[in-house]
Structure 1
Amino acid sequence: MAANHLKVAMAQIAPVWLNKAGTLEKIKDSIRDAAKENVELIVFGESLLPGYPYWVELTNGAKFNSTVQKELHAHYSRNAIVIEEGDLDEVCQLAKEHKMAVYLGSIERAQNRGGHSLYCSLVYIDAKGEIQSVHRKLQPTYEERLTWAPGDGNGLRVHKLKQFTVGGLNCWENWMPLPRVSLYGQGENLHVAVWPGSDFNTKDITRFIARESRSFSIGVSSIMRVEDFPQDTPHLDKILEKAPKILSNGGSCIAGPDGEWIIEPVLNKEGLIIETLDFNRVYEERQNFDAVGHYSRPDITKLTVNRERQTTVSFEE
C-alpha cells in the first residue's frame, strides 16, 4: 500500500465482560482477522479489556461500605491488566507478527501507583510490537469515579505511522479542549477517540474534532448486550434487574479532515469496520485552517503540559 495510504480497522466488539483471559482471546482473534485484510492500524474501544463498569449505575454504586460494590470492584481488579507482568505480551507479539499498530482500551492496575487502584488506560502498541504509550484517563466521568482513579499527562503523546501522526484520548477527554490541543501541537493528523459504545457520544464529537483539527477523526466503540454478561459474574441478578437489553450500541465512525463522514456511526453490529485513509486530504484541509500552525497565536495563548508520570513515592538510594 502507498506510503500516504493507511488501512485502519475499528474493532466494534463486545468484551467477555470482566473476564481478562476471555476478552484477550477476542482481541487476538480480531487482530488475526484484521491481518487477513492487510490492516495497518486496529483500534479497540474504551476499557474493552476487560469491560466498562456498567454495574456502578445499575446497582447503587454510591452506597458506602456496600458488600455488593466491594465484591464487584474486587472482581474487576482481579481482571484488570498489569502491563509489567506481561498481560499484553501476546497482543504485542501479534502486532509485531502482522506489522500492525494497535490502540487498546484497557483497565490497568498501575504498579507505580501501588498496584491496587484502577486506571482507564489507552495503550498504543506500534507495528514492531512495542508499547509506546499508556495514557491513563485524566478525569473519569461521573459514576466512573467510583471505580477508576484519575490519571496523568504522561500518555499525551503522538506516534508516527507511515505518513500519519496518530494520537488518542479516552471517551469524554475528547470534549476537553486542552488535551486535544496538546495532541494537535505535536502534529497529530489522525485522532483516535475510544468510547464504551454509543452513537450518542460519537455522532457529534467525531465530526467536530475532524473539522477543528483538519485531521482524520476515528471514534471507536464497543458493543454490550445483556447476553454478554457471563453467568459467573458476581451479583449478576442485581445487575440484570435494571439493565436494558442493549447497554452499548456501538456507533463507531470515521470523519475526514473536512468534518464530513467517511463512515457514519455503525449501530448494533459486532465485528471489524475497515477503511483506507489518504493522508493527502490532511494537507488539502490545512490550506485554509491549522489550529496550531498558521491560524494560531502562541504569542498570546499557549498551553503548558506536564507529562511527568505521577507516583506517590520516590526513593533515593
Structure 2
Amino acid sequence: MENLLKVALAQISPVWLNKAETLKKVEQSIVDSAKEGAELIVFGEGLVPGYPFWLALTGGAEWNKTVNKQLHAHYVSNAICIEKGDLESVCNLSKKHKIAIYLGIIERPLDRGGHSVYASLVYINEKGNIQSVHRKLQPTYDERLTWSPGDGNGLQVHPLKQFTVGGLNCWENWMPLPRAALYGLGEDLHIAVWPGGDHNTKDITRFIARESRSFVISVSSLMTKKDFPKDTPHLDQILEKAPDVLANGGSCIAGPDGEWVIEPVLDKEGLIIHTIDFNRVLEERQNFDPVGHYSRPDVTKLTVNRERQSTVAFKENTKE
C-alpha cells in the first residue's frame, strides 16, 4: 500500500574514527533492515566515522596543540569522499534491497579542496542513487573547531511512496528557517539526525511534528567509553576525562499530532522498526498547514539560496 512506509531507525555506535569498519556496520544494518521489509533506513549524525568527542576532552580550543592537530588529521583521513566512491558499497546495497537511506557522514568534498570536512546528511533513493548531500549549515559550539559551515544546496526533499521526505542535522532542527524551507517544499516526513542523547530528541522531535503536522523520525548514535578503539591517537588523554556514556541514543518517532509513536529508546543498540501511515498527515493538516491554508505568503516569505558554495568558479575557453 502506497500510504504505508516501513522505516528502520539504526541506533548504532561507530567504530570510532575508522571509516572502513564503521561502513561495515552501516552495511550490515542495511541488510538486516531489508530482511525486516524496511523501505527506509536512517542513521545518526556524522556516524561515519563518528562525532568529534575529543574536542571537549583534550582542550580542543587550545591553539597549535599537537594532540588536536594529530586527531584532526586522523579524522580527516577517515572522512568520506563521495567523489572517490566511498559510498559506492552503500549505494549498491540500497539498489539491491530497494531501500532508501539517510546516512550521516563526515564529508571531505573535492569541490571545497578536499582538506576540510563537513557534517553532511546524504539521501540515497531506493534505486541506489545519491539524491542530495546536505552540509550542516552551522556547526554547533566546539564542532566549529573541526567542521566547516555548509550551504543551502542540500535543503531538498524527495518522494518516497506517498511521503515527501527531507532532513536536517542535529541543532539545525532548532533553526526555524531551514525547517520552513523544507515545509515549503512539501515535506511531510522529517528526518532529524543526532550524534546521540535523549536530551536532544525528547523535546524537539514532538515540537517539529506538532508544528509541521508531519511525522518526525529522530535517529541518534550510541557511544560509550568502551567504544573507543585501542589504536585511537592519544586515547589515554581522551579517556582521562571521558564519561562512561557519551551518547545514550534517544532515537524516536513522533506522529503528525505531536504525540509519541515510539518514545526515545535509550542505551540499546540495534534497529527500531515501525510502519507509518501517510493518511495521518492528511488528517492533521485539516486544521493546520504551516505553508498551505494556514500561511500568509503575502506578509511573510522565505528566500533560500541553494547554490553549492565554492571559492572558485572556472570559465573555460572552449574556442579552438
Deviation of 1:172 after TM superposition, in Å, equals 0.1
Deviation at 1:102, TM superposition (A): 0.1
Matched, 1:89 2:82: no
List per-residue Cα deviations over 1:35-85 (Å, max 9, x = no partner): 100100000000000000000001000000000000000000000000000
Q: Partners in 2 of 1:113 and 1:90 — Cα distance?
A: 24
- Taking the aligned partners of 2:107 and 2:311, their CA distance within structure 1 comes to 17
Q: Secondary structure at the match of 1:38?
A: coil
* Aligned twin of 2:142: 143
C-alpha deviations, 1:287-313, integer Å up to 9, x for none? 000000000000000000000000001
1:245 equivalent to 2:250? Answer no
List aligned pairs for 1:278-297, cutoff 5 A. 278-297=277-296
List runs of 5+ in structure 2 lacking aligned partners. none
Count of residues in Structure 1 that have an aligned counterpart in Structure 2: 316
Partner of 2:115: 116
SS in structure 1 opposite 2:302?
A: coil
1:8 — aligned with what? 7
List gaps (5 residues or longer) in structure 1.
Answer: none
User: Aligned AA for 1:263?
Assistant: I
- Residue of structure 2 in register with 1:64 after alignment: 63
Question: Cα distance, 1:248 vs. partner?
Answer: 0.1
Whole-Å separation in 1 of the counterparts to 2:177 and 2:140: 17
1:204 is paired with a residue whose SS is helix
Cα distance in 2 between the residues matched to 1:3 and 1:77? 41
- How far residue 110 of structure 1 moved from its aligned partner, in angstroms, is 1.2
1:100 aligns to 2:96 (yes or no):
no
Aligned to 2:16: 17
Question: d(CA) in 1 for partners of 2:202 and 2:298?
Answer: 35
Q: Deviations over 1:256-310 (max 9, x none)?
A: 0000000000000000000000000000000000000000000000000000000
What's 1:221 paired with? 220
The CA distance in 2 between the partners of 1:257 and 1:196, in whole Å, is: 24
2:211 alignment partner in structure 1: 212
In structure 2, what is the equivalent of residue 77 of structure 1? Answer: 76
Deviation at 1:209, TM superposition (A): 0.2
Query: In 2, distance between residues paired with 1:313 and 1:254?
Result: 41
Give the partner amino acid of 1:85. K
Seq. identity, %: 76
- Within 2, Cα distance between the matches of 1:230 and 1:153? 35
Q: Which residue of 1 aligns with 2:39?
A: 40
